[in-house]
Amino acid sequence: MATKDEHTSAAPPLLSRVLRAGVLDEVTIEVGTGTEKTKYRPHKSFLIHYSEYFRKALSGSWKEAEDGVITLEDVEPAVFNMFVDWLYTQKLPAGIEAWYQSSDTPEDVDDMVGMEVLRIKLYVFADRFIVPILRTTLNRLIVADTTCRLAPFPDVTSYAFENLPTEDPILAFFVDTNALFCDTYGMEEAEHDLAKHPRLFLVRTIRKMTTMRSFDPPACNQCDYHEHQTEDEKEACAKQRK
Protein backbone atom coordinates (compact mmCIF):
# COMPACT_ATOMS: atom_id res chain seq x y z
CA MET A 1 0.00 0.00 0.00
CA ALA A 2 1.25 3.47 -0.85
CA THR A 3 2.26 5.61 2.11
CA LYS A 4 2.53 9.31 2.78
CA ASP A 5 5.93 10.70 1.94
CA GLU A 6 7.85 13.82 2.95
CA HIS A 7 9.08 14.17 -0.61
CA THR A 8 5.57 14.60 -2.04
CA SER A 9 4.65 17.11 0.66
CA ALA A 10 7.24 19.51 -0.77
CA ALA A 11 6.41 21.85 -3.65
CA PRO A 12 6.32 20.11 -7.04
CA PRO A 13 9.06 20.91 -9.55
CA LEU A 14 8.65 24.05 -11.62
CA LEU A 15 7.75 23.11 -15.17
CA SER A 16 9.66 26.09 -16.54
CA ARG A 17 12.83 24.92 -14.79
CA VAL A 18 12.33 21.34 -15.95
CA LEU A 19 11.84 22.42 -19.54
CA ARG A 20 14.99 24.55 -19.44
CA ALA A 21 16.91 21.42 -18.45
CA GLY A 22 15.53 19.72 -21.58
CA VAL A 23 16.96 16.30 -22.40
CA LEU A 24 19.12 16.39 -19.29
CA ASP A 25 16.00 15.82 -17.23
CA GLU A 26 14.40 13.20 -19.48
CA VAL A 27 14.38 9.46 -18.89
CA THR A 28 13.19 6.66 -21.12
CA ILE A 29 10.43 4.33 -20.00
CA GLU A 30 9.55 1.33 -22.14
CA VAL A 31 6.06 -0.05 -21.55
CA GLY A 32 4.67 -3.37 -22.73
CA THR A 33 6.06 -6.67 -23.92
CA GLY A 34 7.86 -7.86 -27.03
CA THR A 35 9.85 -5.80 -29.49
CA GLU A 36 7.06 -3.26 -30.01
CA LYS A 37 7.30 -1.57 -26.63
CA THR A 38 5.79 1.89 -26.28
CA LYS A 39 8.49 4.40 -25.38
CA TYR A 40 7.96 7.48 -23.25
CA ARG A 41 10.39 10.23 -22.33
CA PRO A 42 8.92 11.90 -19.24
CA HIS A 43 10.86 14.26 -17.02
CA LYS A 44 12.74 12.70 -14.15
CA SER A 45 11.93 15.62 -11.83
CA PHE A 46 8.20 14.86 -11.96
CA LEU A 47 8.61 11.10 -11.68
CA ILE A 48 10.81 11.23 -8.59
CA HIS A 49 8.65 13.88 -6.93
CA TYR A 50 5.39 11.94 -7.14
CA SER A 51 6.51 8.29 -7.10
CA GLU A 52 8.70 6.61 -4.51
CA TYR A 53 9.24 3.70 -6.91
CA PHE A 54 10.66 5.91 -9.66
CA ARG A 55 12.62 7.94 -7.12
CA LYS A 56 14.44 4.81 -5.98
CA ALA A 57 14.84 3.50 -9.51
CA LEU A 58 16.32 6.74 -10.84
CA SER A 59 18.18 8.13 -7.84
CA GLY A 60 19.80 5.14 -6.18
CA SER A 61 22.08 2.25 -7.06
CA TRP A 62 19.60 0.55 -9.36
CA LYS A 63 20.73 -0.23 -12.89
CA GLU A 64 17.93 2.03 -14.15
CA ALA A 65 19.51 5.01 -12.39
CA GLU A 66 22.72 4.45 -14.29
CA ASP A 67 21.17 3.72 -17.68
CA GLY A 68 18.28 6.17 -17.48
CA VAL A 69 15.97 3.50 -18.91
CA ILE A 70 13.13 1.73 -17.08
CA THR A 71 11.26 -1.20 -18.61
CA LEU A 72 7.73 -1.96 -17.41
CA GLU A 73 6.75 -5.13 -19.25
CA ASP A 74 3.62 -5.90 -17.24
CA VAL A 75 2.08 -2.42 -17.51
CA GLU A 76 -0.42 -1.60 -20.24
CA PRO A 77 0.36 1.46 -22.38
CA ALA A 78 -3.23 2.64 -21.83
CA VAL A 79 -2.61 2.77 -18.07
CA PHE A 80 0.72 4.53 -18.43
CA ASN A 81 -0.92 7.03 -20.79
CA MET A 82 -3.34 7.98 -18.02
CA PHE A 83 -0.53 8.20 -15.49
CA VAL A 84 1.48 10.56 -17.71
CA ASP A 85 -1.56 12.79 -18.23
CA TRP A 86 -2.06 13.00 -14.47
CA LEU A 87 1.67 13.49 -13.85
CA TYR A 88 1.69 16.76 -15.78
CA THR A 89 -1.82 18.06 -15.05
CA GLN A 90 -2.61 16.69 -11.57
CA LYS A 91 -6.14 16.14 -12.85
CA LEU A 92 -8.18 13.03 -13.57
CA PRO A 93 -10.52 12.75 -16.56
CA ALA A 94 -14.11 13.91 -16.09
CA GLY A 95 -16.63 11.62 -17.74
CA ILE A 96 -16.50 8.44 -19.79
CA GLU A 97 -15.27 10.01 -23.01
CA ALA A 98 -12.42 11.79 -21.23
CA TRP A 99 -11.18 8.56 -19.63
CA TYR A 100 -10.92 6.91 -23.02
CA GLN A 101 -9.14 9.94 -24.45
CA SER A 102 -6.65 9.96 -21.58
CA SER A 103 -5.92 6.25 -22.01
CA ASP A 104 -5.63 6.74 -25.79
CA THR A 105 -7.73 3.65 -26.43
CA PRO A 106 -10.69 3.09 -28.80
CA GLU A 107 -13.57 5.12 -27.52
CA ASP A 108 -17.05 3.96 -26.60
CA VAL A 109 -18.79 6.79 -24.79
CA ASP A 110 -21.53 4.45 -23.56
CA ASP A 111 -19.17 2.02 -21.92
CA MET A 112 -19.48 2.72 -18.20
CA VAL A 113 -17.87 -0.64 -17.36
CA GLY A 114 -14.82 0.19 -19.44
CA MET A 115 -14.39 3.53 -17.69
CA GLU A 116 -14.51 1.93 -14.25
CA VAL A 117 -12.01 -0.71 -15.35
CA LEU A 118 -9.65 2.07 -16.47
CA ARG A 119 -10.05 3.76 -13.08
CA ILE A 120 -9.26 0.64 -11.08
CA LYS A 121 -6.28 -0.13 -13.31
CA LEU A 122 -4.88 3.34 -12.67
CA TYR A 123 -5.52 2.91 -8.95
CA VAL A 124 -3.60 -0.37 -8.97
CA PHE A 125 -0.76 1.35 -10.84
CA ALA A 126 -0.66 4.15 -8.24
CA ASP A 127 -0.59 1.59 -5.43
CA ARG A 128 2.10 -0.56 -7.03
CA PHE A 129 4.41 2.29 -8.03
CA ILE A 130 3.81 4.21 -4.81
CA VAL A 131 2.20 7.38 -6.14
CA PRO A 132 0.32 8.38 -2.96
CA ILE A 133 -1.32 11.57 -4.22
CA LEU A 134 -2.75 9.81 -7.27
CA ARG A 135 -3.82 6.82 -5.20
CA THR A 136 -5.64 9.02 -2.69
CA THR A 137 -7.33 11.06 -5.43
CA LEU A 138 -8.58 7.90 -7.12
CA ASN A 139 -9.72 6.48 -3.79
CA ARG A 140 -11.88 9.55 -3.20
CA LEU A 141 -13.26 9.42 -6.74
CA ILE A 142 -14.16 5.72 -6.66
CA VAL A 143 -15.72 5.85 -3.21
CA ALA A 144 -17.71 9.01 -3.93
CA ASP A 145 -19.00 7.85 -7.32
CA THR A 146 -21.76 5.67 -5.94
CA THR A 147 -24.80 5.83 -3.72
CA CYS A 148 -23.44 2.82 -1.80
CA ARG A 149 -26.42 0.88 -3.11
CA LEU A 150 -25.01 -0.13 -6.51
CA ALA A 151 -23.08 -3.36 -6.96
CA PRO A 152 -19.63 -3.06 -8.57
CA PHE A 153 -19.08 -4.56 -12.02
CA PRO A 154 -17.51 -8.07 -12.16
CA ASP A 155 -14.70 -6.87 -14.46
CA VAL A 156 -13.78 -4.27 -11.85
CA THR A 157 -13.81 -6.60 -8.85
CA SER A 158 -11.87 -9.25 -10.75
CA TYR A 159 -9.04 -6.87 -11.58
CA ALA A 160 -9.05 -5.34 -8.11
CA PHE A 161 -8.94 -8.64 -6.23
CA GLU A 162 -6.23 -10.01 -8.51
CA ASN A 163 -3.94 -6.98 -8.17
CA LEU A 164 -4.47 -5.29 -4.79
CA PRO A 165 -3.40 -6.41 -1.30
CA THR A 166 -6.23 -8.01 0.67
CA GLU A 167 -6.33 -5.16 3.19
CA ASP A 168 -6.78 -2.42 0.59
CA PRO A 169 -9.76 -0.20 1.48
CA ILE A 170 -11.12 -0.25 -2.07
CA LEU A 171 -11.63 -4.01 -1.81
CA ALA A 172 -13.58 -3.49 1.40
CA PHE A 173 -15.59 -0.78 -0.32
CA PHE A 174 -16.53 -3.08 -3.22
CA VAL A 175 -17.52 -5.82 -0.78
CA ASP A 176 -19.65 -3.49 1.32
CA THR A 177 -21.45 -1.91 -1.63
CA ASN A 178 -22.20 -5.33 -3.10
CA ALA A 179 -23.46 -6.60 0.25
CA LEU A 180 -25.72 -3.55 0.58
CA PHE A 181 -27.00 -4.04 -2.96
CA CYS A 182 -27.79 -7.70 -2.40
CA ASP A 183 -29.40 -6.93 0.94
CA THR A 184 -31.53 -4.15 -0.53
CA TYR A 185 -32.66 -5.79 -3.76
CA GLY A 186 -32.40 -9.43 -2.79
CA MET A 187 -29.99 -12.12 -3.87
CA GLU A 188 -32.31 -13.13 -6.72
CA GLU A 189 -31.90 -9.76 -8.41
CA ALA A 190 -28.10 -9.97 -8.34
CA GLU A 191 -27.71 -13.72 -8.83
CA HIS A 192 -27.12 -13.60 -12.58
CA ASP A 193 -23.93 -11.54 -12.06
CA LEU A 194 -22.56 -13.19 -8.93
CA ALA A 195 -20.81 -16.05 -10.73
CA LYS A 196 -18.73 -13.55 -12.70
CA HIS A 197 -17.09 -12.12 -9.58
CA PRO A 198 -13.91 -13.61 -8.01
CA ARG A 199 -14.52 -16.20 -5.30
CA LEU A 200 -12.84 -14.23 -2.51
CA PHE A 201 -15.06 -11.24 -3.28
CA LEU A 202 -18.18 -13.40 -2.96
CA VAL A 203 -16.99 -15.00 0.28
CA ARG A 204 -16.31 -11.60 1.81
CA THR A 205 -19.67 -10.31 0.57
CA ILE A 206 -21.55 -13.15 2.27
CA ARG A 207 -19.64 -12.58 5.50
CA LYS A 208 -20.45 -8.89 5.34
CA MET A 209 -24.13 -9.56 4.76
CA THR A 210 -24.19 -11.80 7.83
CA THR A 211 -22.67 -9.00 9.90
CA MET A 212 -25.04 -6.42 8.47
CA ARG A 213 -28.07 -8.27 9.82
CA SER A 214 -27.35 -6.74 13.21
CA PHE A 215 -27.53 -3.19 11.86
CA ASP A 216 -30.68 -1.33 10.89
CA PRO A 217 -30.43 0.38 8.49
CA PRO A 218 -27.09 -0.61 6.91
CA ALA A 219 -24.76 2.36 6.54
CA CYS A 220 -22.00 3.28 4.15
CA ASN A 221 -19.67 6.02 5.35
CA GLN A 222 -17.21 7.18 2.70
CA CYS A 223 -14.57 8.05 5.31
CA ASP A 224 -14.40 4.40 6.35
CA TYR A 225 -12.48 3.76 3.12
CA HIS A 226 -10.33 6.91 3.01
CA GLU A 227 -7.46 5.80 5.28
CA HIS A 228 -7.51 9.01 7.32
CA GLN A 229 -4.53 9.31 9.63
CA THR A 230 -6.38 11.05 12.47
CA GLU A 231 -9.93 11.62 13.69
CA ASP A 232 -9.53 15.35 12.99
CA GLU A 233 -8.66 14.58 9.40
CA LYS A 234 -11.68 12.30 9.12
CA GLU A 235 -13.98 14.95 10.60
CA ALA A 236 -12.61 17.61 8.22
CA CYS A 237 -13.20 15.30 5.26
CA ALA A 238 -16.80 14.67 6.28
CA LYS A 239 -17.45 18.40 6.67
CA GLN A 240 -15.96 19.12 3.27
CA ARG A 241 -18.44 16.79 1.59
CA LYS A 242 -21.48 18.44 3.18
Rounded CA separation 226/228 (Å)? 6
2 confidence band (pLDDT: 50, 70, 90): very low
Rounded CA separation 39/30 (Å)? 5
What's 1-145's CATH class? alpha beta
Residue 65 class from Cβ within 10 Å (0-12 exposed, 13-18 middle, 19+ buried)?
middle
More confidently predicted of 211 and 214: 211
Q: Give the pLDDT of residue 71.
A: 93
The whole model's pTM is what? 0.86
Confidence check: pLDDT of 85 > 60: yes
Confidence check: pLDDT of 216 > 60: no
Rounded CA separation 48/153 (Å)? 34
The residue among 136, 152, 108 whose CA lies nearest residue 225 is 136
Q: Give the pLDDT of residue 167.
A: 95
Cα–Cα–Cα angle for 67, 89, 101, rounded to 5 degrees: 95
Domain boundaries, the chain: 1-145, 146-242
Confidence check: pLDDT of 40 > 90: yes
- Which whole number is the average pLDDT over 51-58? 92
